[in-house]
Amino acid sequence: MIVPVLLHRWRLLKRRYNQAALIAEHAGRHADVTHLPDLLERQRATPSQGDMGRAARARNVAGAFRLNPRHADRVKGSRIVLVDDVLTTGATIGACARVLRRGGAARIDVLTPARVVLAE
**pLDDT, tens digit, for every residue of 35-75?**
999 999 888 777 665 676 667 677 777 788 889 999 999 99
**Residue that wins the pLDDT comparison between 119 and 90:** 90
Residues 90 and 76: their CA atoms lie apart, in Å, by 23
Report pLDDT for 113.
86
Please give the tally of structural domains in the chain. 1
Task: Output the pTM of the full model.
Answer: 0.81
Residue 120 inside a domain? The answer is no
Residue 39 inside a domain? The answer is yes
Q: Which domain holds residue 12?
A: 2-115
Q: What is the CATH number for 86? A: 3.40.50
Residue 43 inside a domain? The answer is yes
**Widest CA span of the chain, in angstroms?**
42
**Residue that wins the pLDDT comparison between 85 and 53:** 85
**Residue that wins the pLDDT comparison between 93 and 117:** 93
**Residue that wins the pLDDT comparison between 37 and 7:** 37
